[in-house]
């Protein structure tokens, strides 16, 4: 049963905040007359960073907060790279 509970809090927080971030980014972009796609991607990336940090901080079975947050933030660099390639 331990295999179920290890990481359960992390998983719930991680995906919950990620989904909230995606919807929030989508709605913020729509306020500025966008279609919401890029806002959802950025919102999901930032939401994932926040959700991972909260998940690690609140779940005693997960360690490595600084490395996880840094990895999430570094991955956000891929967004403008992918957008540049896509828009060629």
Residue 16 has a CB neighbour count (10 Å cut-off) of 14
Q: Maximum CA pair distance of the chain? A: 50
Residue 76 has pLDDT above 70, yes or no: yes
Determine contact, residues 26/43, Cβ cutoff 8 Å.
yes
Residue range of the domain that includes 26? 2-86
Q: For residue range 9-68, what is the model confidence (pLDDT) as tens digits? A: 788 888 888 888 888 888 888 887 877 788 888 888 888 899 889 888 888 777 888 898
Give me the pLDDT at residue 74, please.
92
Residue 7 has pLDDT above 80, yes or no: no
Residue 3 has pLDDT above 80, yes or no: no
What is the count of structural domains for the chain? 1
């Amino acid at each position: 049963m331990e295999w179920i509970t290890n990481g359960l809090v992390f998983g719930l927080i991680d995906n919950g905040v990620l989904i909230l971030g995606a919807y929030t980014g989508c709605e913020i972009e729509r306020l500025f007359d966008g279609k919401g796609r890029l806002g959802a991607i950025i919102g999901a990336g930032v939401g994932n960073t926040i959700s991972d940090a909260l998940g690690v901080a609140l779940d005693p079975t997960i360690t490595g907060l600084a490395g996880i947050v840094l990895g999430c933030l570094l991955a956000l660099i891929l967004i403008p790279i992918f957008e540049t390639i896509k828009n060629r």
